[in-house]
Structure 1
C-alpha cells in the first residue's frame, strides 16, 4: 500500500480504479511559412473555433454548476479576444514568417510569465488561464476538437492538474473522485469540484509515472489522503466510514421540516449562502429557512459592462418570489480584491484586499450604487427582502448609505413605483467595525459577521495565499472574542447578529456559537441539515 497526503477540496470517500490523465506532450516546432496571409487566416479560424468551444462549455457549466462557476469560460472567451494577445500572435507570424502554432506557443509563454511575475495575486492566477486558452487553440490547430475524458466505468481521476475546461467536461456519473498533483484550494477547478460534489484532493505528491490505469485506490476527502492498493484493514475501515456517511445523509433527510430550536428553547435562524438563482434548488432541497447571503457581485462578473437596473431587478424579484416570504438578504456588490471586473477600471493596486472594493466602490461611484439600490427596492415589493452592506468600517459610511437610499426612495415615489422599506444590515468584517459595533448597532437592523475577511484583517494574513495556510486560523481566540463582542453589542441595541462566513459551517464550533448567543448561521445549502441536527441536540444551559 502507498499513501499520499494531499489537501482536501471536497469531502467524502471514494473507492475504485484509477484513470491516469496525462495531457499530450505538445512539442511545438518553429517552421518557416511562405504563405503568411494564409497562416494568419488559419490562426483566425482556429481562434474562432476555440471561442465557439468555450461558449459551449459555458452553456454546459451553466446547467451543471450555475452562473457564478460557469463564468470562468466567459473570462476565457474575453482573454481569447484580447487585442494584446492576438496582436502578439499575428505579429510573430508576420515578422518571422512562422507557423501559427509557434506564434501561439511563444505568446502563451510570454504572457503567462508576465502575469506570473505580477505582485497582484488575481493577476498571477491569469497565467494559468493564458496557458489554458493557448492550449485550446493549439489543439484546434493540430486538427483535434479536444478529446473529452470518457470512461466505460466509474473511476478516480489522477492528474498533474485539471483546467476548468477539463473539469466541467467530466461525466459526473462516472467520476468517483479526482486527485491532482498541483492546484490550490481557491482555484476555479477546486470551486467547480465543490459545486459538483466530487471528492477531491489537490497538492498530492504522487508520481504519475508510477501510477497506472485500473490500479485499485481509495480517496479520503476528509483527511486528504490517497491510498494506492490499500491493504485489507485500511480498505475495510474506509468502507465502514463510507457506509456511516451514507447512513448519516439518510438520517439528515428526516430533519427536513423541523424547527431550529435547541433543547432549552433557543431558536436559531438557519439560512443559506448562494451566488445566483440556480442555487435556489439546493436551498429548497436542504430546507434552509431563508437566504442569509446572496452574493450580488456575481451578477457583475463574467461580463463586459454593468448590469442594468432592469436586469438586476428581474433577478432579485425572482429570488424574492421563489422564497415565498422567507427572508432573503442580498449583499450589495462586493467587487474588488480577488473579484475583479475589468470594466470597473479600478486599476492596479499594491494591496487590493485593502483597496477600492465593496462599499468603498459604491460610495465613491454612487451612480453604480443607486442603480443597484433601485433594483433592490423595486424587488422588495415581491417578498421578504433585506439589504446588507459589506466592509463597513465607519459610522459616516452608514449615514452616507442612508442618504443615498433616501434619494432612491424619493425617486421611486415620484415615479409611482411600488416598494417596501427593506431591513438594512451590515457585514462586520474589519476590526474597526468590531470596536465600534456598539455605535454601529444603533444605526442598522442586523449584523452579519463575515469571518473570512475578519480573520484575514485581524491576523494580517492574506487568505488567498496558500503559503500562509498554517497562519490563517479562523477560530483564533482573537476572532472568537470579537464574535462575542459583536453579538453582545447587537443584543444591547435590540438587533440580531449572525455569521455568514465559512466559520459558521464549522460543526466543531456550533455549540460554542449557540452559547455565545449567535442568532443566525448562514452557510452553504449542504451544511444546513448537519447544523440543524446539532442545534436540536444542544442544551445551551450546559455549555
Structure 2
C-alpha cells in the first residue's frame, strides 16, 4: 500500500492543474482500494457549500452541480465533525441525502474523510461501494493519508488562483463576491498599509532548464560572464537607489548579493560545470539547486532564509542569459508589492515615495527583505500561505503588519476602520516623538529603565533616536553568523568597541555566544534530534573555553576607557555553570590586564530562560551582579511549545498563568537578594505587559527600539499603585486570554489602549 501511495503522490505532483490532480486522485484511489466510487467534494467559501469537483463511479454530469450546505448530507457531516465517517449502509443514516443526478442509489458502503489544512476544512474525499460492509482500518488509514496529500495540492491551487478558475469552469458562471476575505501570515514589519497590489512574477524558470552538452566552452563562459556583469550592475544600482533610505549597515545586505557572484563563490562553481561540458544555463541551474538544497537544510532560520536570495540571484542571471525582455511596470502612487518571493532588488525598482507595503507568500521575518522593510518603515507580511497572489494585480488590498493579515476583499466599513487607524498612527508617531527625552516613570514617580536589544550597528542609531537608556541584550552571535569562520579576537574587539562607544556612558549588556537551538554557524554545525534541549548557549562555550576566553577578552579590551560593559551568560540551568564561567571570566580579566589594558572588572549576570533556573534564582543571584529573564525561551520551555512550529504556535502565550507565576517568583527572589533585575524578549516590548512587569518588580525592560515610545507612554500614564492593583487581579485568573483581556480593558478604561494600539479595534473575521 505504501508503494501505491508513493506512486499516486508522484503522479499528482506532475499534474498540470488542479482538475488534472483531482482526476488522478479519484481514478488511482478507486483503483487502489478496489471500490466502485471515489469522489472529491471541495468547500466553496463564497457559497458556503461543498461542491462535487471530481468523481469516478458517479455520473460525470453531476460534477459542479451537486452542492451541499455546511452540515448537509453525509459529506457535510464529515466536514462538521472533522473526522472520518465509515458506514456499512449509508442510506439508513439520518444525514443521508440522495441526489438523483449522481446515480448513487446503488451504493451502500460509505467512507468519507475530511481534507484539512491548518484546522481549515478544504473538502471531503469519499469512496463508496455497493456491498454492505464497513471499510477496514487499513483502508481508512490509506484514505486519510491521501486526503492529507490532497490538502497540499488544494492550498497550492488557491495560492496560484487555479482553484477559482476550476470553480467557475464547473459552475459555468461567475462566483459571488464575498463581503470579506483575509489571509494570515507572519508580521515582517509593523504598520498598516492600504494600496494597490502590484504582483511581481518572475519570467525565467530555473527548474525547466534542460541539461545540454556543448563544445565551445569559452563561448558559454562569455555568456555567463556577461550575465554576471549585468546583474552586478543591477544590484549596485538597486543599492544606490535605496541609499538615502538606509543606513550603511543595512545597505551592506546588497553586498551579500554581490559576494555570491564572486569568482570564489557561485561563479566558480558554474564555470567548473561549464568546463565539464555543460552549457551555461544548465550549469547555473544545477549550482543554484545545490545551494538551495544546502541552505534549506540548515536549522538556523536566518541562514535558511538565504535560499530566497540565492534563487533570486539565479533567476536574474538566467533572465540575462535568456535575454528575457521584461516590460516596464507602471507603479501607482500607493504600491503594495505582492509576490511568491519578494526580494530586496524588487524594492529598489519601485520609485521613491510610492512603496506602501509588502506581501510575500514565502519567507519569514528573517528574510533580507523583511530586515530592509523594518529599516525603511514599510509594513510587511511574510509567509502568507494560500494567498491567491496571481489574481491580485491592480486590486486594492489592506495589510495589517501588526497581526500579519492581508485583506483582499472587504466591505467599506472595514476599509474605513483601517483608514482611521492609518491617520491615528500618524498622529501617534508625532505624539510619541515628544517623549524621546522624557524619563520613563509613573505618575507617582516610580522609575523604570528602558533598554534595547541590538545586533547590528543599524539598531544602535535607531535606538538612540528613540531615547534608549542602555543595551539589555547585545546578540554577539551576529558577527559570528556573517562570517565563514570564527572571528578573531581583534575582529570581535573592533565590533564590540563600536557598540560600547556608541552607547557610552550608558551600559551595554553583551550576551556571550548563544548558538545551538535555532542558531547554527555554517562552519560549526550542530546536528541533534532535539536541538532546543541539547547542546546550546553556555553549554557549548564551556565545552569550548578557547571560544569563550577569546570572546570575553575581546569584550574587555573593547571596554577600555569606557567601562560600560556588562557580560551576560545565556541558557544557565545550574550554579555549576556559573561557577565555571566566572572562573574563566576572571582568568580572562587578569590576562587582559597583564597585556597592559586598563579595564575594570565588568558586571556579570545570568539569563533565566529555563524552568530549572527559575527555582534557583536566589542561589544564582548570590553569585552574580544582575539577573535578566529571557521571556521568549522561558515561555517556550514552560509551555513546551516551539512558537516557530505552525502546528502548535497557537499554544504559545506569554500571558499564560504559569509563565506569569514564574516571572513573579523570579522578581520576588531577586528582590530578596537585592540584585538588579531586567527582562528581555517580546513580552518586555509589549506595552500591554508593561504595567504588570512594573508591578512585579522588574527594573529594566529591554526591547526592540520600535517598542520604546509606546512602552514609555504607558508607564508615564499610570501609577505604581494602579499597576499593583491590576497585577493582583491578573494573578488570580487561570486563562491567558482572560488575563490579556483584563489588562487591555484596564488600559482602555484608563484612556491608554486606543493610543498605543489602535488596531485592536478591528473586528476579527474568519481567515481563509
Is the pair's TM-score, using the shorter chain for normalization, greater than 0.5? yes
Q: Does 1:181 align with 2:361?
A: yes
2:92 equivalent in structure 1: none
1:291 equivalent in structure 2: 471
- Aligned partner of 1:207 among 384, 388, 391: 388
- Give the Cα separation in 2 of the matches to 1:321 and 1:84: 35
Q: Does 1:403 align with 2:578?
A: no
- Give the Cα separation in 1 of the matches to 2:328 and 2:637: 43
* Structure 1 position 83, deviation (Å): 8.5
* Structure 1 position 315, deviation (Å): 3.0
- Give the Cα separation in 1 of the matches to 2:639 and 2:682: 16
1:394 equivalent in structure 2: 574
- Give the Cα separation in 2 of the matches to 1:500 and 1:525: 12
Relative contact order (alpha carbons < 8 A, sep ≥ 6): 1 or 2 greater?
1
1:19 equivalent in structure 2: 198
Q: Secondary structure at the match of 1:374?
A: helix
Residues 18, 217 of structure 1: 8 Å contact kept: yes
**CA deviation profile, 1:293-312 (whole Å, cap 9, x unmatched):** 11121122212233232333
* Structure 1 position 46, deviation (Å): 4.5
Q: Secondary structure at the match of 1:346?
A: coil
Q: Does 1:511 align with 2:698?
A: no
Q: Does 1:38 align with 2:219?
A: yes
1:479 equivalent in structure 2: 659
Which has the higher mean CA deviation after the structures are superposed, 498-507 or 12-21? 12-21
- Give the Cα separation in 1 of the matches to 2:236 and 2:588: 37
**CA deviation profile, 1:417-470 (whole Å, cap 9, x unmatched):** 110111111111111211211211111111111111112222222233334321
**What's the TM-score, normalizing by structure 2?**
0.63
Q: Secondary structure at the match of 2:364?
A: coil
Write out aligned runs for 1:327-342 (5 A).
Answer: 327-342=507-522
**CA deviation profile, 1:173-206 (whole Å, cap 9, x unmatched):** 3210112333334444334433332112231644
**What's the TM-score, normalizing by structure 1?**
0.87
Residues 120, 350 of structure 1: 8 Å contact kept: no
Residues 603, 625 of structure 2: 8 Å contact kept: yes
* Structure 1 position 231, deviation (Å): 4.4
**CA deviation profile, 1:479-519 (whole Å, cap 9, x unmatched):** 22111121111111110211111111122221111111111
Write out aligned runs for 1:95-114 (5 A).
Answer: 97-109=277-289, 112=292
- Give the Cα separation in 2 of the matches to 1:500 and 1:511: 15
Structure 1 386/148 Cα, relative in aligned 2: closer, same or farther at 3 Å? farther
Structure 1 185/465 Cα, relative in aligned 2: closer, same or farther at 3 Å? farther
- Give the Cα separation in 1 of the matches to 2:234 and 2:692: 49
Q: Secondary structure at the match of 1:466?
A: coil
- Give the Cα separation in 2 of the matches to 1:417 and 1:250: 46
Q: Does 1:262 align with 2:453?
A: no
2:629 equivalent in structure 1: 449
Which has the higher mean CA deviation after the structures are superposed, 44-53 or 5-14? 44-53
* Structure 1 position 265, deviation (Å): 3.0
* Structure 1 position 154, deviation (Å): 3.6
**CA deviation profile, 1:25-63 (whole Å, cap 9, x unmatched):** 535355443313532554466457657866887898898
Structure 1 487/286 Cα, relative in aligned 2: closer, same or farther at 3 Å? same
Q: Does 1:354 align with 2:548?
A: no
1:458 equivalent in structure 2: 638
Question: Where does the alignment leave 5 or more consecutive residues of structure 2 unmatched?
Answer: 1-178, 726-768
Structure 1 56/337 Cα, relative in aligned 2: closer, same or farther at 3 Å? farther
Q: Secondary structure at the match of 1:4?
A: strand
Structure 1 206/314 Cα, relative in aligned 2: closer, same or farther at 3 Å? closer
Structure 1 171/493 Cα, relative in aligned 2: closer, same or farther at 3 Å? farther
Residues 61, 69 of structure 1: 8 Å contact kept: no
- Give the Cα separation in 2 of the matches to 1:312 and 1:60: 31
Cα RMSD (Å): 3.4
**CA deviation profile, 1:376-410 (whole Å, cap 9, x unmatched):** 21233314221111111121211112111211222
Which has the higher mean CA deviation after the structures are superposed, 118-127 or 55-64? 55-64
Structure 1 72/384 Cα, relative in aligned 2: closer, same or farther at 3 Å? same
Q: Does 1:5 align with 2:183?
A: yes
1:370 equivalent in structure 2: 549
* Structure 1 position 349, deviation (Å): 2.9
Aligned length: 539
Question: Where does the alignment leave 5 or more consecutive residues of structure 1 unmatched?
Answer: none
Whose Rg is larger? 2
